[in-house]
Amino acid sequence: MESDKRGATTKDILDFAEKRFGALPEYLWQKFPDYFVFRSAENNKWFAVIGSVEYAKLGIAKDGRTDVMAVKCSPEARDILLHEKGVIPAYHMNKERWISIVLDGTCRKDLVFGLLEESFSLIHIKGRAR
């Protein structure tokens, strides 16, 4: 689908998370009012964190800010995913089990939604320590 080739916006993700997982954003930090998490109603674990970050803090040579979404992934998938446009090492999360997606239109919408699905799945694997 052509629409899946464009980048996902934060609004796209908010709509997808509510429809697919019944997850609404939780704003947890007064100091960072534009940061929010999605968590599973089943086990209360986070499966995504979204916030606005300066490009420079992400190691991207560009002025301004962008939204970034951190999602869980397997260490094996992480190594492959870091070759995708718009996917970077996790910002402020465990860099072995999380990646970040720059939400400035760089990363394809279908990939963003797939990574959100995978993150949700990973927090529901029984017996998993993380």
The pLDDT, as a whole number, for residue 94 is 66
Domain ranges within the chain, ordered by starting residue: 2-122
User: Which of 30, 17, 123 lies closest to 73 in space, CA to CA?
Assistant: 123
Beta strands in the chain (DSSP E): 36-39, 46-54, 65-72, 87-89, 98-102
pLDDT, tens digit, 9 for 90 and up, residues 57-88: 988 899 999 999 999 999 889 989 989 989 99
Q: 1 pLDDT band (50/70/90 cuts)? A: very low
User: Per residue in 20-67, pLDDT tens?
Assistant: 999 999 999 999 999 999 999 999 999 999 999 999 998 889 999 999
Higher pLDDT, 17 or 97: 17
Q: Confidence class of residue 106 from pLDDT cuts 50, 70 and 90?
A: confident
User: What token pair was written down for 1?
Assistant: 């689908």
Work out the number of other CB atoms within 10 angstroms of the CB of residue 93. Answer: 16
2-122 has which fold?
Aspartate Aminotransferase, domain 1 (3.90.1150)
47 near 25, Cβ under 8 Å? no
Measuring CA to CA, which residue among 43, 44, 42, 47 is closest to residue 16?
Answer: 47
pLDDT of residue 21: 96
